[in-house]
Amino acid sequence: MFFSHLNPDQRDSAISQLAHDEFDVLVIGGGVTGVGAALDAASRGLKVALIESQDIAAGTSSRSSKLIHGGLRYLEQYDFKLVREALHERELMVSSLCPHLVKPVGFLFPLTEKFKERTYVGAGLALYDALRGFQRALPWHKHIGQKQINEIAPSLRPDLIMGAIKYFDAQVDDARHTLAIARTAARHGAVIATRVSAETLIREGKRVVGVNAKDLLSGKKISIKSKVTVMCAGIWSDELHAKFDLKPGYGVTMSKGVHIVLPGSAIKSNAGIILKTPVSVLFLIPWADKWIVGTTDTPYTGDRAEPFASREDVQYILDQANRVLTPHLKAEEIIGVYAGLRPLVANNKNSSTTKLSREHTVDRPAAGFVSVAGGKYTTYRVMGKDVIDRAVIELRAITAESVTEKLPLVGADGYFALVQQIELLSTTSGLDATTISHLLNRYGSLISEVLELVAENPKLAEKVDKDLLYIKAEILYAASHEGALSVDDVISRRTRIAFEARDHGVHLAAEIAAIIAPALGWSARERKASVVAYEELVRREVNALDELLAESASVSS
C-alpha cells in the first residue's frame, strides 16, 4: 500500500531506497514533465524513482501563464495537430483528471472592426472549438455586440472596441497541479526525493545503468541504480547533456516569458481578455482578486536559475495592454513581476524562438538513457507517455500501456459530490462556506486531511492573513503532506502568497516558519535561517522590480 504524503519521514525513506534499491526507471527533474513521466511509469507497474535538485515545480512549472489551453495562436501557424492534442488534454483535465484544480475561464477577443475582423476571428474560434472533438466540458464561443461588451468589460476602450467574441479555455495553479501529479505518482509507488542533484552517470560499457547523485541537505553521495534513466530537465537539458558527456539529437533554445501582477481594481472586466500583438498574444487573466498580464516571448541566454524581467519586457506588456484599455495601466500599480523560461526544441541555434514549434522531442543519446524536451504545460501528460514509451524499450521486457488518460489525480475522486456538500462540510467543520470552497478547489477530496488538522488543533482554522483565504492548517499541511522543506516552498509554491500578499508575504514568513517547524523537526537556528533565506530572495526580486519601475518612471518623464 502506497501513500501520497510527501514529508521528511517519506524523504528519509526515499533516500534510503535510492541508495539500496534498483529501479526500472529513474526520472531526473521535478517539473510538470518529470512528474508526469514518473506517474506514467509508476502506473504501468514499473519500479520508479524521481529526483529533483530543488523543489517540485521550482522552475518553469511554477512560472507559467497559469492557463491550460489549446494555443489559439498556433492555428495561424497551421499547427492543427498541436492544437487538437492540447484541447483534448484540456478537456480531460477539466472533466475528469483534475477538475478541482483546472477550471474553465472565459476570455474576450476584442474586435476593432464590425465585419471583416469578426468573420475572420469567428472562423478561427469555430475551428478552435471544433478541434476539441466530441467532448464538451467547456461552452462554445459566442459573439458579443458593442453595447454588451461595454457592460462586461468597461475597461475596454469604447471608442476603439466594436464588440468581441467570447470563448473559453481553462486556468490552473501550475505549481499546485504539478505537486498533485507528483503525489499521485507517489501513491502509485514512485519514490520521490527533492534536493537531490544528479552529478554523473553510472555506466557499464556504453550503457547507462544509473546516476551518482548528491543529497543536498546532508551532503551524502548516493549511487542510484536504474535500468533506464529518463531526463526531463527542461531549460537545463543542454547543461546536463554536457555534464553527462552526452551528444543529444537536439538543442534547447530558451524563451523568456514575463508576467506582471496587478490589483483587481486596475482592470474592470468580468472576463479575461486576449489581445493579438505584433509578435504573439497577450493575456489579461483574472486571478482571484488580482490580474496576471503577459506574456512576452523573447530569446534568452542569461542565468537559468534566476531569470529577471527587463524594463523593456514590462514596458512591452504595459504598452500592448494599454492599446485597448482605459484608463491605462501604470507601472506604479504593479504588485509583482515574474519571469519563466520556456524550453523550445531547436535544431538550429539561430532560430527565432517565436517561430519554433511547441511540439516535443524524445531522444536516446545513449543506451539506457532517454530524454524529452519542448512541448507546453498543457500537453505534459502526452510528453510523459511518449518518453516512457521510448524508455520501456530499454527494459527489454513486455510492459503495460499507459493508463494516465483515465487516471485522476489525487483529490479528483468525489470532487463534484463534495461541491454539493459545501454547506454540510461548513457545519461539521466550523469553517465558513467560502473557506470550504477555497479548500475544495485546492485539495479536492483531500480536504479531509486538512480538516483533520483543524479538528486536532482548532487554532489552525485561523487565517494566515486577513486579506487572504489561506488558513494555518494549509501551511502545516504543506510540510506534513506536500513535501515543503522551506519557507520559500510554502510561500512561493504550496500557496501563491509570494505574489498575492503585500510585501510578497515577508510579514508572514516568521509565523509560517513557526507553523511548519515542528513538522520539519527544525531547530531555532534552522527556522530563522529559512526565514532569512526567503527575505533575501524577496529582497533581490524587489530590488529588480524597483529598478524597473524607476527606469520606467524616468522614461515616462
Q: Where are the alpha helices (DSSP H) in 256-299?
A: none
Determine whether 380 is exposed, middle or buried from the number of CB atoms within 10 Å of its CB (0-12, 13-18, 19+).
buried
Question: Cβ neighbours of residue 57 under 8 Å, at least 6 residues apart?
Answer: 30, 31, 32, 174, 175, 178, 179, 493
Tell me: the pLDDT tens digits for 360-412? 899 999 999 999 999 899 999 999 999 999 999 999 889 999 999 999 999 99
Tell me: the pLDDT tens digits for 230-288? 999 999 999 999 999 999 988 998 999 999 999 999 999 999 999 988 888 899 999 98
Residue 167 corresponds to which cell in the numbers above? Answer: 470563448
Q: Which candidate, 336, 320, 258, places its Cα nearest to that of 294?
A: 258
- Backbone phi, psi, residue 5, to 5°: -65, 135
Tell me: the pLDDT tens digits for 500-546? 887 899 999 999 999 999 999 999 999 999 999 999 999 887 776 66
Determine whether 459 is exposed, middle or buried from the number of CB atoms within 10 Å of its CB (0-12, 13-18, 19+).
exposed
Q: Which candidate, 491, 536, 538, 492, places its Cα nearest to that of 513?
A: 491
Q: Where are the alpha helices (DSSP H) in 262-310?
A: none
Question: Cβ neighbours of residue 522 under 8 Å, at least 6 residues apart?
Answer: 513, 516, 530
CA triplet 334, 337, 343: central angle to 5 degrees? 150
| CA neighbours closer than 13 Å in the CB half-sphere of residue 444 | 20
Q: What pLDDT score was predicted for residue 293?
A: 97
Mean pLDDT of the chain: 92
- Three-class DSSP labels, 147-162: HHHHHHCCCECCCCCC
Q: What is the pTM of this model?
A: 0.94
Q: What pLDDT score was predicted for residue 59?
A: 92
Neighbours of 195 (CB within 10 A): 20
Determine whether 217 is exposed, middle or buried from the number of CB atoms within 10 Å of its CB (0-12, 13-18, 19+).
middle
Residue 324 corresponds to which cell in the numbers above? Answer: 485597448
Q: What pLDDT score was predicted for residue 77?
A: 74
Tell me: the pLDDT tens digits for 96-147? 999 999 999 999 999 988 778 888 788 888 888 888 776 678 889 999 998 8
Residue 137 CA to residue 103 CA, distance in Å, equals 10
Give CA separation, 391 vs 143, 295, 373, 421, in Å: 47, 34, 14, 43
Q: Would you place residue 353 in the very low, low, confident or very high pLDDT band (cuts 50, 70, 90)?
A: very low
Q: Beta partners for 343?
A: 254
Whether 274 contacts 107, CB under 8 Å: yes
| Domains of the chain with CATH codes | 8-61+176-250+353-406 (3.50.50.60), 103-171+253-346 (3.30.9.10), 415-546 (1.10.8.870)
Neighbours of 510 (CB within 10 A): 15
DSSP state of 248: -
Residue 515 CA to residue 476 CA, distance in Å, equals 6
Q: What pLDDT score was predicted for residue 354?
A: 44
Whether 30 contacts 58, CB under 8 Å: yes
Q: Beta partners for 34?
A: none
Q: Which candidate, 532, 230, 195, 551, places its Cα nearest to that of 369?
A: 230
Give CA separation, 16 vs 56, 220, 536, in Å: 20, 11, 33
DSSP state of 397: S
User: Which has more pLDDT, 91 or 551?
Assistant: 91
How far, rounded to the nearest angstrom, does the alpha carbon of residue 181 sit from its chain's CA centroid? 11
Q: What pLDDT score was predicted for residue 350?
A: 53
| CA neighbours closer than 13 Å in the CB half-sphere of residue 335 | 21
Q: Which candidate, 265, 251, 228, 334, places its Cα nearest to that of 299?
A: 251
